[in-house]
Chain A
Amino acid sequence: MKPFPVILFFYHLAPLMEPVMSLQPVLMGNPIARHIMQYVIPLHCVQQNPSIPSEQQLNVNSLNLTSTNLLGESISTVIVLRLLPGVAVYTGMETKMALNYQGKSQKRSAVEKSINAFLIVYLFILLTKAAVCTTLKYVWQSTPYNDEPWYNQKTQKERETLKVLKMFTDFLSFMVLFNFIIPVSMYVTVEMQKFLGSFFISWDKDFYDEEINEGALVNTSDLNEELGQVDYVFTDKTGTLTENSMEFIECCIDGHKYKGVTQEVDGLSQTDGTLTYFDKVDKNREELFLRALCLCHTVEIKTNDAVDGATESAELTYISSSPDEIALVKGAKRYGFTFLGNRNGYMRVENQRKEIEEYELLHTLNFDAVRRRMSVIVKTQEGDILLFCKGADSAVFPRVQNHEIELTKVHVERNAMDGYRTLCVAFKEIAPDDYERINRQLIEAKMALQDREEKMEKVFDDIETNMNLIGATAVEDKLQDQAAETIEALHAAGLKVWVLTGDKMETAKSTCYACRLFQTNTELLELTTKTIEESERKEDRLHELLIEYRKKLLHEFPKSTRSFKKAWTEHQEYGLIIDGSTLSLILNSSQDSSSNNYKSIFLQICMKCTAVLCCRMAPLQKAQIVRMVKNLKGSPITLSIGDGANDVSMILESHVGIGIKGKEGRQAARNSDYSVPKFKHLKKLLLAHGHLYYVRIAHLVQYFFYKNLCFILPQFLYQFFCGFSQQPLYDAAYLTMYNICFTSLPILAYSLLEQHINIDSLTSDPRLYMKISGNAMLQLGPFLYWTFLAAFEGTVFFFGTYFLFQTASLEENGKVYGNWTFGTIVFTVLVFTVTLKLALDTRFWTWINHFVIWGSLAFYVFFSFFWGGIIWPFLKQQRMYFVFAQMLSSVSTWLAIILLIFISLFPEILLIVLKNVRRRSARRNLSCRRASDSLSARPSVRPLLLRTFSDESNVL
């Protein structure tokens, strides 16, 4: 225990300001802990000014701060007190939020890692080439007439240079000569492609949301292609899968069902009591029920000061840690009972007759996860003391008179089937004598420093007995539009969806069913406090469960890890539910080797499950899970999507972070890599945009390495025919312009516009996403294919021209070509081949593609004429003068160029045909299998609401 500095807030307290300021409050608290759910701090005030009345001091003294008092993000706590409007504990970097914040690290995509790997290979090739050439040069030069024939003498300086130094400079010269094999221009093009390409995301009108008047936002363009590589999706629940707006749907009072006429009509038109009475019920019971809804909650009212003189009711804004409570209070309001807020410890309620009733709030028995209910004790104006309690049916039913349950239970169960969150409401009258006792016990428990939780629990337990059931409510946590369809599409695309939420397990589970993360036939494996606490020793029980689950799963998937994505569709599906405390038990259990063992078993289980639900997660735990999955074997690509500040650390941790521009502020959206208005947009973002970006950039990368290899290979081969003298094959202008002008734009246009499969097919058939999973296009196989293709083409270019030059003359007038014509022929074939190769790969020919592809070739021809057409005054040598024009005057050269281009492209064309044949045969096999499958086919789309709940699932 150590004291922490405290800042006191003063608000509308002018008369009391001074005395309060003179208090020296000291908070005794636990050391800073990032776990959000643990927070108990007793507040002690040292009175310095004796003039303060002692009751005031008492008021302050009797305060205990608990996690339920803690709200807010940047301020640790704002508590509402009569004297002390607020206390801020742990400010700045010590807030829970800051402690759970994770530093932003640079993210690099899998493609970039592949590029680096390729680069190392090519660097190796470059070094090898240079080394080979240098060695061979000195071998060749060991013959004196080769080293210095009479016609080609060295200068004096060259003769005097040290041999070692010469070898070194020769090595470097070869490096310079071959350096084009390292595609420097690729980095520029990749950056341009990423930057320009990311605009298509923000331009996409499908991502536009009317409600918030915004579309998608791209915060980084580095990760476009990563969207096509995602293996795991981690999603937040509230605000991401759900709308984060609870709606009061219906209620039942003594077994009679009440339902508003419409849900969409706003409050104003509802206050005049347009109720559909399915059945008449005692008016008193009805009012009691509505009063219970108005009183039994921790909702606060935020009055908007900005509007002066406006009536109170017009500016009512309800604030609560639970959106359900807001929905209930609003629901009560729709039936005529309006909660007007707390004033001096009195809760004010406006009833159906527009009268204001005041209830003194005596005690609030806060909600907690174990009790799964909350209560308030209020004193009516008449002096009666009433206890109102609301909670999960499983928590309330055992505590009310048995005969009342039956009628309500029917409704609760039906509502639960419909996917609503249900709560039961009960009340009891407390005799004044009893109240004295209860009051004492409560205060005692609240002030306890040791075992406070347990004592409180016991007292609460005693109080909340023998109640009378009034009714039940049904609140809908509305799923986001198309959330289920999106999840289903992601599943079909072979992605694993994990829901990470801070919510309770039951709520989360029902949402998971609603959004089809769990199907009706999904077998759930639970690793929660509930399942584990059955046993004495938690860890033993955990171990037992882990082993059991693993056995079950391994039995189901017998070592078919390679095709287990496909196996999902054929086997029993498994879902895993785990909660925060169990997770920390797994991850941080005793230091010995068993913890690693737990972890590995747990990961094995996770990998076999189609869907995983992690509930009760602290923000950092979310990140922890993401990191754990990220470090799995094969380092899968993770994507996190969330809307709140509590998702930020997870968003930052994962490979790709997506923020939803939700109701919980923009923190997630700002820290994300991409932000979209709704969860459903994830589908198009991954399946269409991600897929296309990946294909585009993967092709771009391969193409760049390919075109530079077949550019430089002839130059390498030429060294064998020029005495390893570093004589360049191509003119300097061609060397420079090759990557910049002649072959840059077609690939850039391709990498921006290509749609090898059109967007509609990509979104409608999620299985296509699997084709590119695991960085498929940048694996060794494709890389070798491109490299061999380049090597083949380079060889064809060089030796084709070499054999062409075996003749005396290529022209009909017998004149002879020199080395620059040789290089220009090779270069012309090269430029045409690599451009036409891209043309063969292009499946989406917009006018831009036509323009840049044919334009580049035309530009090459035009430039060559121009470059060779003038005696350039600034050039030392006029090597290229009329070389190109002279070259084209020869019919043989034309024929040779056409022939060489065709030979170079021949394997590619052949491959297209072979693929076609193979696809055809694959289709045939598939259609055969499909025909046999169709007998046992099952419906692909399951009805949304066809599912069952255990009664535990319908809990606040």
Chain B
Amino acid sequence: MAMNYNAKDEVDGGPPCAPGGTAKTRRPDNTAFKQQRLPAWQPILTAGTVLPIFFIIGLIFIPIGIGIFVTSNNIREIEGNVFMYYGLSNFYQNHRRYVKSRDDSQLNGDSSALLNPSKECEPYRRNEDKPIAPCGAIANSMFNDTLELFLIGNDSYPIPIALKKKGIAWWTDKNVKFRNPPGGDNLEERFKGTTKPVNWLKPVYMLDSDPDNNGFINEDFIVWMRTAALPTFRKLYRLIERKSDLHPTLPAGRYSLNVTYNYPVHYFDGRKRMILSTISWMGGKNPFLGIAYIAVGSISFLLGVVLLVINHKYRNSSNTADITI
């Protein structure tokens, strides 16, 4: 190739590397990081190390599953506090248009938002030139049936069961997120200049006689405002507290449910339900979790056994054991 081969005469050649310390060395630093030699834990995943995981999982999951399953099945027995739920089906509380149709500032007691609700509330923002409080589709469609429970005793008079209205909403919702607008003692005054949601029978300041459960901090309202995840949902309605340890909360007997029917569901092919349930440490009756735990635990255990057998078969027939990459 037409190239210059350039070689220094040996007379002036000498070693090309000048021994002088002045020459700046560009040798890369010999640090563990730069040389990719950081101390590291290199897990060796072999059958020997992974197989025990299957057994451990099996041994842990199966008892948990059984525990959950038993607890879940025991929930039917009406002991301890009883929780009263209403259920709606085919009601799309999670529809996007519905979910965003609220004004959290207004619900938080912001006075400017009270009189000028967010645009998100359309078409439930203003009515007859007055701002709606609480605005939005969620508030407007609040469940307003009244459910009453009676025990029909031996005498013909039904005994009403005491239903507790408070303690059904999240503590933080009730005490922080939902606030009535500021002002004097009179709640009506504080909501002055607003109008009730179109579908409501009563204005928001007349939801309950208890001042601690009225207006925006009415717990029925707060529970409704937490939009459900799925179109078939339940919401906590009332608590039936156990009076004494001697008697069951709801003794065996005939009960009657008195429904003041305000809430239309047939229009959207929906259903209403009322559910009475006790609650364990793991919540309401939930067979899924228990079964899933038992299933996964068992599968894991079985696979562990199968793989152990396979592994042993290979190990026994092979002379070269303990090979890992």
Using a CB–CB distance below 8 Å, which chain A residues touch chain B?
A: 36, 67, 70-73, 96, 145-146, 149-156, 199-200, 202-205, 207-208, 210-211, 213-215, 238, 244-245, 266-268, 270, 313-323, 326, 330, 333, 502-503, 644-646, 663-664, 721-723, 725-728, 753, 755, 757-759, 800, 802-819, 821-823, 842-849, 871, 875-878, 881-882, 885-886, 890-892, 895-896, 899, 902-903, 906, 909-910, 912-914, 916-917, 919-921, 923-924, 927
Contact = CB atoms under 8 A, between A and B. Distances in A.
B42 A812 contact: no
Nearest to B107: A878
A917 B309 CA distance: 11
Contact of B38 (A207, A321, A330, A753): A753
A916 B7 contact: no
B229 A878 contact: no
Interface in B39-60: 39-43, 45-47, 50-51, 53-54, 57
Nearest to A617: B1
A213 B57 CA distance: 57
In this complex, which of A315, A807, A890 has the most chain B Cβ atoms within 10 angstroms of its Cβ? A807
Q: Which residue among A207, A326, A808, A844 has the maximum number of chain B CB atoms within 10 Å of its CB?
A: A808
Contacts of B91: 149, 151
Contacts of B114: none
19 contacts: A145-B267, A145-B269, A149-B268, A155-B123, A204-B34, A315-B9, A646-B3, A725-B98, A727-B94, A805-B230, A816-B233, A819-B93, A845-B41, A846-B39, A871-B108, A891-B281, A906-B300, A909-B54, A917-B310
Contacts of B4: 71-73, 319, 321, 664
B308 to A, nearest CB: 10
Interface of B: 1-14, 16-17, 23, 25-30, 34-43, 45-47, 50-51, 53-54, 57, 61, 64, 68, 81, 83, 85, 91-105, 108, 118, 120, 122-124, 137, 140-141, 167-170, 172-173, 176-177, 199, 223, 226-231, 233-236, 239, 264, 267-269, 275, 277, 279-286, 288-289, 292-293, 296, 300, 303, 307, 310-311, 314-315, 317-320, 323, 325
A899 B323 contact: no
B43 A845 contact: yes
B306 to A, nearest CB: 10
Given A895-B282, A902-B296, A267 B3 contact: no
A881 B29 CA distance: 50
B57 to A, nearest CB: 7
Nearest to A893: B283
B229 A814 contact: no
Nearest to B103: A876
Contacts of B275: 808
A617 to B, nearest CB: 9
Contact of A920 (B47, B120, B124): B47
A361 B50 CA distance: 84
Nearest to A646: B1
B204 to A, nearest CB: 17
A760 to B, nearest CB: 10
A817 B284 CA distance: 12
Contact of A722 (B34, B40, B92): B92
Given A145-B268, A813-B279, A921-B314, A314 B11 contact: yes
Contact of B286 (A322, A644, A892): A892
A722 B98 CA distance: 10
A71 B2 contact: yes
A567 B317 CA distance: 29
A152 B29 contact: no
A858 B156 CA distance: 62
A878 B98 CA distance: 15
Contact of A644 (B3, B25, B93, B314): B3
A867 B140 CA distance: 29
B104 A876 contact: yes
B288 A806 contact: yes
A660 to B, nearest CB: 14
A319 B310 CA distance: 72
Given A903-B296, A916-B46, A920-B314, A267 B11 contact: yes
B92 A149 contact: yes
Contact of A244 (B5, B54, B170, B227): B5
Given A200-B34, A317-B9, A812-B281, 9 more contacts: A151-B141, A155-B123, A722-B95, A808-B85, A812-B283, A818-B228, A822-B230, A899-B293, A924-B314
Contacts of B284: 807-810, 814
A651 B235 CA distance: 71
Given A205-B35, A809-B83, A927-B318, A502 B229 contact: no
A307 to B, nearest CB: 9
Q: Which 7 A/B pairs are nearest by Cβ-Cβ distance?
A: A267-B10, A151-B141, A822-B229, A502-B1, A808-B284, A203-B34, A814-B83
A846 B40 contact: yes
Contacts of A849: 40
Contacts of A664: 3-4
Q: Among B83, B100, B289, find the residue whose CB has the most chain A CB atoms closer than 10 A.
A: B289
Nearest to A645: B3
